Structure 1
Amino acid sequence: MDDIEALRDFSRFYTQRLGLLGQSYLGSGLGVTEVRVLWELAYGDQGTARQIAERLGLDEGYLSRLLAGFEKKGWIAREPDPDDARCRRLILTEDGKALAAGHDKASRTAVGAFLGQMSPDARALLGEGLARVKQAFNPPQDVELKDLSPGDAGWIVERHGQLYARDEGYDASFEALVAEIMAEFIRSHDPARERGWIAWGGGRRLGSVFCVARSPDTAQLRLFFLEPEARGLGLGRKMLDACLTFAREKGYRELVLWTHESHQAACRLYDKAGFQRIGSRPMHEYGQDTVIIDYRIDL
Protein backbone atom coordinates (compact mmCIF):
# COMPACT_ATOMS: atom_id res chain seq x y z
CA MET A 1 0.00 0.00 0.00
CA ASP A 2 1.52 3.35 -1.02
CA ASP A 3 1.30 6.58 1.00
CA ILE A 4 -1.78 7.80 -0.85
CA GLU A 5 -3.75 4.62 -0.30
CA ALA A 6 -2.58 4.42 3.32
CA LEU A 7 -3.99 7.88 4.05
CA ARG A 8 -7.22 7.14 2.20
CA ASP A 9 -7.59 3.86 4.06
CA PHE A 10 -7.13 5.59 7.41
CA SER A 11 -9.65 8.27 6.44
CA ARG A 12 -12.25 5.61 5.69
CA PHE A 13 -11.44 3.86 8.96
CA TYR A 14 -11.70 6.81 11.33
CA THR A 15 -14.76 8.40 9.70
CA GLN A 16 -16.62 5.14 10.25
CA ARG A 17 -15.33 4.53 13.78
CA LEU A 18 -16.14 8.06 14.96
CA GLY A 19 -19.63 8.10 13.48
CA LEU A 20 -18.97 10.75 10.84
CA LEU A 21 -20.84 9.02 8.00
CA GLY A 22 -24.41 9.54 9.20
CA GLN A 23 -26.79 12.15 7.83
CA SER A 24 -26.28 14.16 11.00
CA TYR A 25 -23.40 14.22 13.45
CA LEU A 26 -24.25 12.28 16.63
CA GLY A 27 -27.95 12.66 15.89
CA SER A 28 -27.73 16.44 16.20
CA GLY A 29 -29.54 17.23 12.98
CA LEU A 30 -26.40 19.04 11.77
CA GLY A 31 -23.77 17.83 9.35
CA VAL A 32 -20.11 17.51 10.29
CA THR A 33 -19.18 20.80 8.60
CA GLU A 34 -21.96 22.69 10.39
CA VAL A 35 -20.83 21.32 13.75
CA ARG A 36 -17.20 22.22 12.95
CA VAL A 37 -18.14 25.80 12.06
CA LEU A 38 -20.22 26.06 15.23
CA TRP A 39 -17.23 24.86 17.25
CA GLU A 40 -14.99 27.44 15.54
CA LEU A 41 -17.39 30.22 16.47
CA ALA A 42 -17.58 29.02 20.07
CA TYR A 43 -13.99 28.07 20.83
CA GLY A 44 -11.78 29.34 18.00
CA ASP A 45 -10.51 32.85 17.34
CA GLN A 46 -13.33 35.26 16.58
CA GLY A 47 -13.35 36.61 13.06
CA THR A 48 -15.22 37.47 9.93
CA ALA A 49 -16.80 34.95 7.60
CA ARG A 50 -13.82 35.28 5.26
CA GLN A 51 -11.34 34.62 8.05
CA ILE A 52 -13.25 31.54 9.18
CA ALA A 53 -13.44 30.26 5.60
CA GLU A 54 -9.67 30.64 5.29
CA ARG A 55 -8.99 28.88 8.60
CA LEU A 56 -11.21 25.92 7.74
CA GLY A 57 -10.43 25.79 4.02
CA LEU A 58 -14.09 26.28 3.06
CA ASP A 59 -15.53 27.91 -0.04
CA GLU A 60 -16.75 31.39 0.95
CA GLY A 61 -20.04 30.99 -0.92
CA TYR A 62 -20.80 27.69 0.78
CA LEU A 63 -19.91 29.10 4.21
CA SER A 64 -22.04 32.18 3.56
CA ARG A 65 -25.10 30.01 2.92
CA LEU A 66 -24.38 27.93 6.00
CA LEU A 67 -24.02 31.04 8.17
CA ALA A 68 -27.23 32.50 6.78
CA GLY A 69 -28.99 29.39 8.08
CA PHE A 70 -27.37 29.85 11.48
CA GLU A 71 -28.46 33.48 11.56
CA LYS A 72 -32.04 32.62 10.58
CA LYS A 73 -32.22 30.15 13.47
CA GLY A 74 -30.93 32.77 15.90
CA TRP A 75 -27.60 31.08 16.62
CA ILE A 76 -25.28 33.85 15.44
CA ALA A 77 -25.20 37.63 15.16
CA ARG A 78 -22.87 40.06 13.46
CA GLU A 79 -21.12 43.02 15.05
CA PRO A 80 -18.61 45.60 13.78
CA ASP A 81 -15.02 44.40 13.79
CA PRO A 82 -13.09 46.67 16.21
CA ASP A 83 -10.03 46.41 13.95
CA ASP A 84 -11.87 47.24 10.71
CA ALA A 85 -15.22 49.04 10.79
CA ARG A 86 -15.91 47.91 7.22
CA CYS A 87 -16.09 44.27 8.34
CA ARG A 88 -18.64 42.43 10.44
CA ARG A 89 -17.43 39.93 13.01
CA LEU A 90 -19.44 36.79 13.75
CA ILE A 91 -20.48 36.01 17.33
CA LEU A 92 -22.70 33.37 18.88
CA THR A 93 -25.96 34.34 20.54
CA GLU A 94 -26.89 32.82 23.88
CA ASP A 95 -28.85 30.14 22.02
CA GLY A 96 -25.83 29.52 19.81
CA LYS A 97 -23.52 29.19 22.81
CA ALA A 98 -25.87 26.71 24.47
CA LEU A 99 -26.09 24.69 21.25
CA ALA A 100 -22.31 24.63 20.83
CA ALA A 101 -21.81 23.57 24.45
CA GLY A 102 -24.31 20.76 24.02
CA HIS A 103 -22.60 19.50 20.88
CA ASP A 104 -19.20 19.68 22.54
CA LYS A 105 -20.44 17.68 25.53
CA ALA A 106 -22.05 15.06 23.28
CA SER A 107 -18.86 14.76 21.23
CA ARG A 108 -16.70 14.31 24.33
CA THR A 109 -19.09 11.68 25.64
CA ALA A 110 -19.03 9.76 22.35
CA VAL A 111 -15.26 9.89 22.02
CA GLY A 112 -14.87 8.99 25.69
CA ALA A 113 -17.02 5.90 25.16
CA PHE A 114 -14.90 4.95 22.15
CA LEU A 115 -11.67 5.35 24.12
CA GLY A 116 -13.16 3.52 27.08
CA GLN A 117 -13.03 0.32 25.06
CA MET A 118 -9.25 0.58 24.80
CA SER A 119 -6.60 -0.43 27.30
CA PRO A 120 -4.43 2.29 28.90
CA ASP A 121 -1.47 1.16 26.78
CA ALA A 122 -3.56 1.33 23.60
CA ARG A 123 -4.77 4.82 24.52
CA ALA A 124 -1.20 5.94 25.12
CA LEU A 125 -0.18 4.50 21.75
CA LEU A 126 -3.08 6.32 20.11
CA GLY A 127 -2.10 9.62 21.71
CA GLU A 128 1.49 9.27 20.54
CA GLY A 129 0.36 8.31 17.05
CA LEU A 130 -2.00 11.27 16.76
CA ALA A 131 0.76 13.63 17.87
CA ARG A 132 3.03 12.21 15.17
CA VAL A 133 0.34 12.59 12.50
CA LYS A 134 -0.16 16.25 13.43
CA GLN A 135 3.60 16.73 13.42
CA ALA A 136 3.80 15.37 9.88
CA PHE A 137 1.25 17.92 8.67
CA ASN A 138 2.49 20.84 10.77
CA PRO A 139 6.22 21.51 11.27
CA PRO A 140 7.06 22.10 14.96
CA GLN A 141 6.81 25.71 16.08
CA ASP A 142 7.90 25.59 19.72
CA VAL A 143 10.85 23.29 20.35
CA GLU A 144 12.43 22.72 23.75
CA LEU A 145 15.82 21.19 24.49
CA LYS A 146 15.56 18.88 27.50
CA ASP A 147 18.07 16.83 29.45
CA LEU A 148 18.25 13.11 28.87
CA SER A 149 15.43 11.16 30.57
CA PRO A 150 14.62 7.44 30.91
CA GLY A 151 13.51 6.07 27.55
CA ASP A 152 15.47 8.62 25.52
CA ALA A 153 18.48 6.35 25.03
CA GLY A 154 16.38 3.59 23.51
CA TRP A 155 14.80 6.07 21.11
CA ILE A 156 18.23 7.39 20.05
CA VAL A 157 19.51 3.89 19.30
CA GLU A 158 16.33 2.91 17.46
CA ARG A 159 16.11 6.00 15.26
CA HIS A 160 19.81 6.02 14.39
CA GLY A 161 19.56 2.36 13.41
CA GLN A 162 16.41 2.82 11.35
CA LEU A 163 17.31 6.00 9.48
CA TYR A 164 20.95 5.19 8.77
CA ALA A 165 19.89 1.81 7.40
CA ARG A 166 17.28 3.49 5.21
CA ASP A 167 19.33 6.48 4.04
CA GLU A 168 22.91 5.17 4.08
CA GLY A 169 22.47 1.42 3.83
CA TYR A 170 24.30 0.84 7.12
CA ASP A 171 24.09 -2.58 8.73
CA ALA A 172 23.36 -3.44 12.36
CA SER A 173 26.95 -2.74 13.43
CA PHE A 174 26.19 1.00 13.33
CA GLU A 175 23.22 0.55 15.64
CA ALA A 176 25.50 -1.44 17.94
CA LEU A 177 27.98 1.46 17.99
CA VAL A 178 25.25 3.92 18.96
CA ALA A 179 24.07 1.56 21.70
CA GLU A 180 27.63 1.31 23.07
CA ILE A 181 28.03 5.10 23.08
CA MET A 182 24.74 5.52 24.92
CA ALA A 183 25.52 2.80 27.46
CA GLU A 184 28.89 4.37 28.23
CA PHE A 185 27.36 7.83 28.61
CA ILE A 186 24.61 6.66 30.96
CA ARG A 187 26.98 4.62 33.13
CA SER A 188 29.95 6.93 33.44
CA HIS A 189 29.39 10.48 32.18
CA ASP A 190 30.39 13.40 34.40
CA PRO A 191 27.31 15.65 34.77
CA ALA A 192 29.56 18.58 35.65
CA ARG A 193 31.33 18.45 32.28
CA GLU A 194 29.19 16.32 29.95
CA ARG A 195 25.59 16.64 28.84
CA GLY A 196 23.00 15.31 26.41
CA TRP A 197 19.96 17.09 25.01
CA ILE A 198 16.76 15.84 23.45
CA ALA A 199 14.79 18.24 21.25
CA TRP A 200 11.05 18.03 21.90
CA GLY A 201 8.32 19.58 19.78
CA GLY A 202 4.67 18.78 19.25
CA GLY A 203 4.77 16.22 22.04
CA ARG A 204 7.48 14.07 20.50
CA ARG A 205 11.24 13.74 20.25
CA LEU A 206 12.79 15.50 17.26
CA GLY A 207 16.52 15.17 17.76
CA SER A 208 19.52 14.61 19.99
CA VAL A 209 23.00 16.00 20.58
CA PHE A 210 25.70 15.24 23.16
CA CYS A 211 28.78 17.01 24.47
CA VAL A 212 31.31 14.58 26.01
CA ALA A 213 34.86 14.98 27.29
CA ARG A 214 37.78 13.61 25.29
CA SER A 215 40.41 15.29 27.46
CA PRO A 216 40.48 18.13 30.02
CA ASP A 217 40.74 20.65 27.16
CA THR A 218 38.81 18.91 24.38
CA ALA A 219 35.09 18.19 24.13
CA GLN A 220 33.48 16.04 21.44
CA LEU A 221 30.07 16.48 19.83
CA ARG A 222 28.33 13.12 19.42
CA LEU A 223 25.04 11.60 18.26
CA PHE A 224 23.84 14.80 16.58
CA PHE A 225 20.59 13.73 14.98
CA LEU A 226 17.38 15.30 13.66
CA GLU A 227 14.19 13.63 12.54
CA PRO A 228 13.66 14.22 8.80
CA GLU A 229 10.58 16.41 9.30
CA ALA A 230 12.49 18.66 11.72
CA ARG A 231 15.31 19.45 9.29
CA GLY A 232 15.63 22.77 7.50
CA LEU A 233 13.83 24.68 10.28
CA GLY A 234 16.85 26.09 12.12
CA LEU A 235 16.62 23.49 14.88
CA GLY A 236 19.99 21.98 13.98
CA ARG A 237 21.74 25.31 14.56
CA LYS A 238 19.89 25.76 17.85
CA MET A 239 21.11 22.37 19.06
CA LEU A 240 24.66 22.97 17.84
CA ASP A 241 24.74 26.35 19.61
CA ALA A 242 23.56 24.71 22.85
CA CYS A 243 26.46 22.27 22.65
CA LEU A 244 28.99 25.02 21.86
CA THR A 245 27.73 27.21 24.71
CA PHE A 246 27.93 24.34 27.18
CA ALA A 247 31.48 23.46 26.09
CA ARG A 248 32.62 27.07 26.50
CA GLU A 249 30.99 27.39 29.92
CA LYS A 250 32.74 24.24 31.11
CA GLY A 251 36.16 25.56 30.13
CA TYR A 252 36.98 23.38 27.14
CA ARG A 253 39.42 24.93 24.66
CA GLU A 254 38.14 23.12 21.57
CA LEU A 255 35.21 21.06 20.33
CA VAL A 256 35.80 18.25 17.84
CA LEU A 257 33.52 15.94 15.88
CA TRP A 258 33.45 13.57 12.96
CA THR A 259 30.74 13.05 10.39
CA HIS A 260 30.22 11.32 7.07
CA GLU A 261 30.91 13.08 3.77
CA SER A 262 27.44 12.11 2.58
CA HIS A 263 25.85 14.28 5.30
CA GLN A 264 26.09 17.43 3.22
CA ALA A 265 23.53 19.46 5.22
CA ALA A 266 25.42 18.75 8.45
CA CYS A 267 28.73 19.65 6.81
CA ARG A 268 27.30 22.99 5.67
CA LEU A 269 26.03 23.63 9.20
CA TYR A 270 29.47 23.01 10.70
CA ASP A 271 31.16 25.17 8.06
CA LYS A 272 28.78 28.09 8.74
CA ALA A 273 29.29 27.75 12.49
CA GLY A 274 33.05 28.24 12.08
CA PHE A 275 34.32 24.67 12.33
CA GLN A 276 37.49 23.79 10.42
CA ARG A 277 37.86 20.61 8.38
CA ILE A 278 41.06 19.06 9.61
CA GLY A 279 41.10 15.81 7.66
CA SER A 280 39.19 13.06 5.92
CA ARG A 281 39.49 9.28 6.05
CA PRO A 282 38.13 6.75 3.56
CA MET A 283 36.70 3.85 5.52
CA HIS A 284 34.73 0.65 5.07
CA GLU A 285 32.35 0.63 8.00
CA TYR A 286 28.84 -0.57 8.77
CA GLY A 287 28.78 -2.54 5.52
CA GLN A 288 29.49 0.50 3.31
CA ASP A 289 32.40 2.41 1.81
CA THR A 290 32.32 5.87 3.34
CA VAL A 291 34.46 8.95 3.94
CA ILE A 292 34.81 10.30 7.48
CA ILE A 293 35.42 14.06 7.83
CA ASP A 294 37.01 15.42 11.02
CA TYR A 295 36.11 18.90 12.30
CA ARG A 296 37.28 21.14 15.14
CA ILE A 297 36.57 24.62 16.44
CA ASP A 298 38.42 26.80 18.96
CA LEU A 299 36.28 27.83 21.90
Structure 2
Amino acid sequence: MEQAIQTIRGFNRFFTRHVGAIDARFLDMDVNLPEARLLFEIAMREPVMASGLQDALDLDRGYLSRMVARFEDRGWIRRDRVEGDARARPIRLTSSGRAAFEMLDERQRSAVAADLARLDPVERDDLVQALAKARLLLDPDAGADFRIRTFRTGDVSHIAARQSILYAASHSWGHGLELVEAETVAAFLRNFKPGREQCWIAEIEGVTAGAVFLTDEGRGTARLRLLHVEPFARRRGIGDALVRHCIGFARENGYAEIMLWTHTVLDAARRIYARHGFERIATEVHHAFGEPVQGETWRLDLTANP
Protein backbone atom coordinates (compact mmCIF):
# COMPACT_ATOMS: atom_id res chain seq x y z
CA MET A 1 0.00 0.00 0.00
CA GLU A 2 2.77 2.47 0.88
CA GLN A 3 4.47 1.91 -2.47
CA ALA A 4 1.16 2.35 -4.30
CA ILE A 5 0.50 5.62 -2.46
CA GLN A 6 3.96 6.94 -3.31
CA THR A 7 3.59 5.96 -6.97
CA ILE A 8 0.24 7.71 -7.35
CA ARG A 9 1.43 10.83 -5.53
CA GLY A 10 4.52 10.89 -7.72
CA PHE A 11 2.41 10.70 -10.85
CA ASN A 12 0.12 13.45 -9.57
CA ARG A 13 3.11 15.75 -9.01
CA PHE A 14 4.44 14.99 -12.48
CA PHE A 15 1.11 15.46 -14.21
CA THR A 16 0.13 18.73 -12.54
CA ARG A 17 3.48 20.12 -13.65
CA HIS A 18 3.22 18.55 -17.10
CA VAL A 19 -0.18 20.07 -17.93
CA GLY A 20 0.47 23.39 -16.20
CA ALA A 21 -2.20 22.87 -13.54
CA ILE A 22 -0.48 25.26 -11.11
CA ASP A 23 0.49 27.89 -13.69
CA ALA A 24 -1.00 31.35 -13.12
CA ARG A 25 -1.40 31.63 -16.90
CA PHE A 26 -2.64 28.28 -18.19
CA LEU A 27 -1.31 27.67 -21.73
CA ASP A 28 -0.10 31.29 -21.72
CA MET A 29 -3.65 32.66 -21.52
CA ASP A 30 -5.23 34.97 -19.01
CA VAL A 31 -6.81 32.10 -17.03
CA ASN A 32 -5.68 29.48 -14.54
CA LEU A 33 -6.71 25.84 -14.87
CA PRO A 34 -9.94 26.08 -12.80
CA GLU A 35 -11.02 29.05 -14.90
CA ALA A 36 -10.17 27.17 -18.11
CA ARG A 37 -12.31 24.26 -16.93
CA LEU A 38 -15.19 26.61 -16.07
CA LEU A 39 -14.98 28.22 -19.51
CA PHE A 40 -15.12 24.77 -21.10
CA GLU A 41 -18.20 23.75 -19.09
CA ILE A 42 -20.04 26.94 -20.00
CA ALA A 43 -19.23 26.41 -23.68
CA MET A 44 -20.45 22.81 -23.58
CA ARG A 45 -23.60 23.44 -21.53
CA GLU A 46 -24.82 26.95 -22.39
CA PRO A 47 -27.28 28.24 -21.44
CA VAL A 48 -26.46 26.91 -17.99
CA MET A 49 -27.33 27.93 -14.46
CA ALA A 50 -24.61 28.57 -11.90
CA SER A 51 -26.01 25.68 -9.84
CA GLY A 52 -25.45 23.36 -12.81
CA LEU A 53 -21.85 24.47 -13.09
CA GLN A 54 -21.36 23.99 -9.37
CA ASP A 55 -22.67 20.41 -9.61
CA ALA A 56 -20.54 19.65 -12.68
CA LEU A 57 -17.32 20.99 -11.17
CA ASP A 58 -18.00 20.26 -7.48
CA LEU A 59 -16.70 23.73 -6.58
CA ASP A 60 -17.28 25.87 -3.54
CA ARG A 61 -20.16 28.25 -4.30
CA GLY A 62 -18.21 31.35 -3.30
CA TYR A 63 -15.19 30.36 -5.40
CA LEU A 64 -17.44 29.70 -8.41
CA SER A 65 -19.20 33.06 -7.95
CA ARG A 66 -15.89 34.91 -7.97
CA MET A 67 -14.79 33.18 -11.20
CA VAL A 68 -18.13 33.93 -12.86
CA ALA A 69 -17.77 37.58 -11.80
CA ARG A 70 -14.28 37.74 -13.36
CA PHE A 71 -15.68 36.34 -16.61
CA GLU A 72 -18.38 39.04 -16.57
CA ASP A 73 -15.77 41.73 -15.98
CA ARG A 74 -13.81 40.47 -19.01
CA GLY A 75 -16.95 40.49 -21.14
CA TRP A 76 -16.76 36.72 -21.75
CA ILE A 77 -20.25 35.86 -20.50
CA ARG A 78 -23.68 37.35 -20.17
CA ARG A 79 -26.39 36.35 -17.74
CA ASP A 80 -29.87 36.29 -19.24
CA ARG A 81 -33.12 36.84 -17.42
CA VAL A 82 -36.00 34.39 -17.44
CA GLU A 83 -39.46 35.89 -17.58
CA GLY A 84 -41.38 35.08 -14.44
CA ASP A 85 -38.34 34.00 -12.40
CA ALA A 86 -36.09 36.84 -11.27
CA ARG A 87 -33.65 34.43 -9.63
CA ALA A 88 -32.97 32.42 -12.78
CA ARG A 89 -29.92 33.86 -14.60
CA PRO A 90 -28.69 31.36 -17.22
CA ILE A 91 -25.12 31.95 -18.36
CA ARG A 92 -24.01 32.17 -21.99
CA LEU A 93 -20.73 33.01 -23.71
CA THR A 94 -20.45 36.31 -25.54
CA SER A 95 -18.66 36.48 -28.88
CA SER A 96 -15.42 37.41 -27.09
CA GLY A 97 -15.96 34.59 -24.61
CA ARG A 98 -16.48 32.16 -27.48
CA ALA A 99 -13.27 33.39 -29.10
CA ALA A 100 -11.36 32.93 -25.82
CA PHE A 101 -12.75 29.42 -25.45
CA GLU A 102 -11.87 28.44 -29.02
CA MET A 103 -8.31 29.71 -28.61
CA LEU A 104 -7.94 27.85 -25.31
CA ASP A 105 -9.44 24.68 -26.75
CA GLU A 106 -7.10 24.75 -29.75
CA ARG A 107 -4.06 25.24 -27.50
CA GLN A 108 -5.11 22.29 -25.34
CA ARG A 109 -5.63 20.08 -28.39
CA SER A 110 -2.24 21.11 -29.75
CA ALA A 111 -0.53 20.35 -26.44
CA VAL A 112 -2.08 16.88 -26.29
CA ALA A 113 -1.28 16.23 -29.95
CA ALA A 114 2.35 17.16 -29.30
CA ASP A 115 2.53 14.60 -26.50
CA LEU A 116 0.99 11.89 -28.68
CA ALA A 117 3.20 12.72 -31.67
CA ARG A 118 6.27 11.64 -29.71
CA LEU A 119 4.86 8.12 -29.34
CA ASP A 120 4.63 5.32 -31.88
CA PRO A 121 1.16 3.80 -32.50
CA VAL A 122 1.56 1.00 -29.93
CA GLU A 123 2.80 3.41 -27.26
CA ARG A 124 -0.04 5.80 -28.06
CA ASP A 125 -2.63 3.03 -27.63
CA ASP A 126 -0.94 1.96 -24.39
CA LEU A 127 -1.16 5.50 -23.01
CA VAL A 128 -4.78 6.04 -24.03
CA GLN A 129 -5.88 2.69 -22.58
CA ALA A 130 -3.90 3.23 -19.37
CA LEU A 131 -5.49 6.63 -18.79
CA ALA A 132 -8.98 5.35 -19.61
CA LYS A 133 -8.53 2.39 -17.28
CA ALA A 134 -7.22 4.63 -14.49
CA ARG A 135 -10.37 6.74 -14.73
CA LEU A 136 -12.63 3.68 -14.77
CA LEU A 137 -10.86 2.17 -11.77
CA LEU A 138 -11.19 5.36 -9.74
CA ASP A 139 -14.75 6.04 -10.92
CA PRO A 140 -16.49 2.76 -11.91
CA ASP A 141 -19.63 4.65 -12.97
CA ALA A 142 -17.68 6.67 -15.54
CA GLY A 143 -17.25 5.73 -19.16
CA ALA A 144 -19.47 5.09 -22.10
CA ASP A 145 -21.49 1.93 -22.64
CA PHE A 146 -19.53 -1.19 -23.45
CA ARG A 147 -19.23 -2.62 -26.95
CA ILE A 148 -18.43 -6.18 -27.99
CA ARG A 149 -16.04 -7.09 -30.80
CA THR A 150 -14.28 -10.22 -32.03
CA PHE A 151 -10.69 -10.96 -31.04
CA ARG A 152 -7.54 -9.45 -32.52
CA THR A 153 -3.88 -10.43 -32.37
CA GLY A 154 -2.73 -10.57 -28.76
CA ASP A 155 -6.20 -10.67 -27.22
CA VAL A 156 -6.45 -14.33 -26.33
CA SER A 157 -3.05 -14.49 -24.60
CA HIS A 158 -3.93 -11.35 -22.67
CA ILE A 159 -7.23 -12.93 -21.56
CA ALA A 160 -5.49 -16.04 -20.24
CA ALA A 161 -2.94 -13.95 -18.34
CA ARG A 162 -5.57 -11.61 -16.95
CA GLN A 163 -7.83 -14.41 -15.73
CA SER A 164 -4.87 -16.13 -14.08
CA ILE A 165 -4.11 -12.94 -12.16
CA LEU A 166 -7.74 -12.35 -11.14
CA TYR A 167 -8.36 -15.92 -9.93
CA ALA A 168 -5.04 -16.02 -8.09
CA ALA A 169 -6.16 -12.91 -6.19
CA SER A 170 -9.75 -13.99 -5.55
CA HIS A 171 -9.43 -17.77 -5.03
CA SER A 172 -5.67 -18.49 -4.73
CA TRP A 173 -5.77 -20.58 -7.92
CA GLY A 174 -2.19 -20.44 -9.08
CA HIS A 175 -0.12 -22.13 -11.77
CA GLY A 176 -2.56 -25.02 -12.17
CA LEU A 177 -5.27 -22.70 -13.48
CA GLU A 178 -2.74 -20.73 -15.49
CA LEU A 179 -1.64 -23.92 -17.23
CA VAL A 180 -5.25 -24.88 -18.06
CA GLU A 181 -5.93 -21.42 -19.49
CA ALA A 182 -2.68 -21.27 -21.46
CA GLU A 183 -3.40 -24.65 -23.03
CA THR A 184 -6.99 -23.63 -23.79
CA VAL A 185 -6.08 -20.44 -25.65
CA ALA A 186 -3.15 -22.07 -27.43
CA ALA A 187 -5.47 -24.80 -28.74
CA PHE A 188 -8.02 -22.16 -29.74
CA LEU A 189 -5.47 -20.31 -31.86
CA ARG A 190 -3.86 -23.45 -33.28
CA ASN A 191 -7.15 -25.08 -34.31
CA PHE A 192 -9.37 -22.05 -34.87
CA LYS A 193 -12.35 -22.79 -37.13
CA PRO A 194 -13.75 -19.60 -38.67
CA GLY A 195 -17.53 -19.63 -38.72
CA ARG A 196 -17.62 -22.35 -36.06
CA GLU A 197 -15.66 -20.77 -33.22
CA GLN A 198 -15.17 -17.29 -31.87
CA CYS A 199 -13.79 -15.13 -29.07
CA TRP A 200 -15.59 -11.95 -28.09
CA ILE A 201 -14.08 -9.01 -26.20
CA ALA A 202 -16.15 -6.46 -24.27
CA GLU A 203 -14.59 -3.00 -24.23
CA ILE A 204 -15.26 0.30 -22.48
CA GLU A 205 -13.47 3.19 -24.17
CA GLY A 206 -10.96 0.75 -25.68
CA VAL A 207 -10.22 -0.96 -22.34
CA THR A 208 -10.86 -4.70 -22.10
CA ALA A 209 -13.80 -5.21 -19.74
CA GLY A 210 -14.47 -8.92 -20.24
CA ALA A 211 -14.30 -11.80 -22.69
CA VAL A 212 -15.62 -15.24 -23.59
CA PHE A 213 -14.77 -18.06 -26.03
CA LEU A 214 -16.96 -20.52 -27.91
CA THR A 215 -15.28 -23.63 -29.37
CA ASP A 216 -16.42 -26.53 -31.52
CA GLU A 217 -16.46 -29.82 -29.58
CA GLY A 218 -17.78 -31.89 -32.51
CA ARG A 219 -21.03 -33.80 -32.97
CA GLY A 220 -23.13 -30.64 -32.74
CA THR A 221 -21.72 -29.53 -29.39
CA ALA A 222 -20.20 -26.11 -28.68
CA ARG A 223 -18.33 -25.23 -25.50
CA LEU A 224 -18.45 -21.89 -23.72
CA ARG A 225 -15.05 -21.13 -22.19
CA LEU A 226 -13.20 -18.59 -20.07
CA LEU A 227 -16.03 -16.14 -19.40
CA HIS A 228 -14.85 -13.26 -17.27
CA VAL A 229 -15.71 -9.64 -16.50
CA GLU A 230 -13.17 -7.22 -15.07
CA PRO A 231 -13.95 -6.05 -11.52
CA PHE A 232 -14.23 -2.39 -12.54
CA ALA A 233 -16.79 -3.28 -15.25
CA ARG A 234 -19.20 -5.42 -13.26
CA ARG A 235 -22.90 -4.65 -12.79
CA ARG A 236 -23.15 -3.36 -16.37
CA GLY A 237 -24.65 -6.50 -17.91
CA ILE A 238 -21.43 -7.45 -19.70
CA GLY A 239 -21.46 -11.09 -18.61
CA ASP A 240 -25.03 -11.55 -19.84
CA ALA A 241 -24.20 -9.86 -23.15
CA LEU A 242 -21.19 -12.11 -23.74
CA VAL A 243 -23.20 -15.24 -23.02
CA ARG A 244 -25.95 -14.04 -25.38
CA HIS A 245 -23.33 -13.67 -28.13
CA CYS A 246 -22.26 -17.26 -27.58
CA ILE A 247 -25.82 -18.58 -27.66
CA GLY A 248 -26.78 -16.57 -30.74
CA PHE A 249 -23.65 -17.65 -32.60
CA ALA A 250 -24.22 -21.31 -31.68
CA ARG A 251 -27.85 -21.20 -32.87
CA GLU A 252 -26.93 -19.48 -36.14
CA ASN A 253 -24.30 -22.12 -36.87
CA GLY A 254 -26.47 -25.16 -36.18
CA TYR A 255 -25.17 -26.39 -32.85
CA ALA A 256 -27.50 -28.63 -30.87
CA GLU A 257 -26.12 -27.81 -27.42
CA ILE A 258 -23.59 -25.71 -25.50
CA MET A 259 -21.57 -27.22 -22.68
CA LEU A 260 -19.47 -25.42 -20.08
CA TRP A 261 -17.37 -26.16 -17.03
CA THR A 262 -17.46 -23.88 -14.02
CA HIS A 263 -17.01 -24.06 -10.24
CA THR A 264 -19.46 -24.00 -7.39
CA VAL A 265 -17.71 -21.03 -5.76
CA LEU A 266 -18.25 -18.82 -8.83
CA ASP A 267 -21.73 -17.68 -7.85
CA ALA A 268 -21.99 -14.69 -10.20
CA ALA A 269 -21.09 -16.75 -13.27
CA ARG A 270 -23.47 -19.54 -12.26
CA ARG A 271 -26.33 -17.04 -11.94
CA ILE A 272 -25.63 -15.79 -15.47
CA TYR A 273 -25.69 -19.31 -16.87
CA ALA A 274 -28.92 -20.13 -15.09
CA ARG A 275 -30.59 -16.96 -16.41
CA HIS A 276 -29.83 -18.06 -19.95
CA GLY A 277 -31.27 -21.55 -19.55
CA PHE A 278 -28.16 -23.60 -18.77
CA GLU A 279 -28.69 -26.49 -16.38
CA ARG A 280 -26.14 -28.16 -14.13
CA ILE A 281 -25.81 -31.83 -15.07
CA ALA A 282 -22.75 -33.00 -13.11
CA THR A 283 -20.58 -32.06 -10.13
CA GLU A 284 -17.13 -33.41 -9.36
CA VAL A 285 -14.23 -32.44 -7.08
CA HIS A 286 -10.88 -32.04 -8.84
CA HIS A 287 -7.30 -31.06 -7.87
CA ALA A 288 -6.16 -29.41 -11.11
CA PHE A 289 -5.58 -26.08 -9.36
CA GLY A 290 -3.52 -27.57 -6.53
CA GLU A 291 -6.29 -27.87 -3.97
CA PRO A 292 -9.70 -29.61 -3.87
CA VAL A 293 -12.22 -27.58 -5.88
CA GLN A 294 -15.76 -28.55 -6.81
CA GLY A 295 -16.26 -28.26 -10.55
CA GLU A 296 -19.60 -28.32 -12.32
CA THR A 297 -20.69 -29.23 -15.85
CA TRP A 298 -23.60 -27.23 -17.28
CA ARG A 299 -25.58 -27.75 -20.50
CA LEU A 300 -27.89 -25.66 -22.68
CA ASP A 301 -30.19 -27.54 -25.09
CA LEU A 302 -30.45 -25.52 -28.30
CA THR A 303 -32.97 -27.84 -29.91
CA ALA A 304 -35.69 -26.67 -27.55
CA ASN A 305 -37.63 -23.49 -28.28
CA PRO A 306 -35.43 -20.39 -27.76
TM-score > 0.5, shorter chain as reference: yes
1:209 alignment partner, SS class: strand
For the Cα contact (< 8 Å) 2:222–2:259, is it kept in 1? yes
Summarize the alignment of residues 68-217 of structure 1 with structure 2, pairs less than 5 Å apart: 68-79=69-80, 87-115=88-116, 121-136=122-137, 137-139=139-141, 140-217=143-220
For the Cα contact (< 8 Å) 1:135–1:202, is it kept in 2? no
1:107 alignment partner, SS class: helix
Partner of 1:284: 287
2:97 alignment partner, SS class: helix
State the 1:114 CA deviation: 4.6
Post-superposition CA distance 1:68-92 (Å, at most 9, x none): 221122110123579x997332111
2:2 is the counterpart of 1:8: no
Residues 292/85 of structure 1: CA separation in 2 closer, same or farther (3 Å cut)? farther
| CA RMSD between the two structures | 2.4
Whole-angstrom CA distance in 2 between matches of 1:192 and 1:110:
45
Whole-angstrom CA distance in 1 between matches of 2:223 and 2:172:
25
2:281 alignment partner, SS class: strand
For the Cα contact (< 8 Å) 2:46–2:93, is it kept in 1? no
**Gap runs ≥5 in structure 1:** none
Partner of 1:231: 234
Residues 202/256 of structure 1: CA separation in 2 closer, same or farther (3 Å cut)? same
Post-superposition CA distance 1:223-272 (Å, at most 9, x none): 11111111222111111111112222222222111111221111122223
Residues 185/122 of structure 1: CA separation in 2 closer, same or farther (3 Å cut)? closer
For the Cα contact (< 8 Å) 1:207–1:226, is it kept in 2? yes
Residues 34/201 of structure 1: CA separation in 2 closer, same or farther (3 Å cut)? same
Q: Percent identity?
A: 36
Compute the TM-score of the two structures, normalised by the length of structure 1.
0.89
Most deviating of 106-115 and 194-203: 106-115
**Gap runs ≥5 in structure 2:** none
Matched to 1:193, the amino acid is R
1:198 alignment partner, SS class: strand
Compute the TM-score of the two structures, normalised by the length of structure 2.
0.87
Most deviating of 98-107 and 50-59: 98-107
2:290 is the counterpart of 1:254: no
For the Cα contact (< 8 Å) 2:22–2:32, is it kept in 1? no
2:224 is the counterpart of 1:221: yes
State the 1:171 CA deviation: 2.3
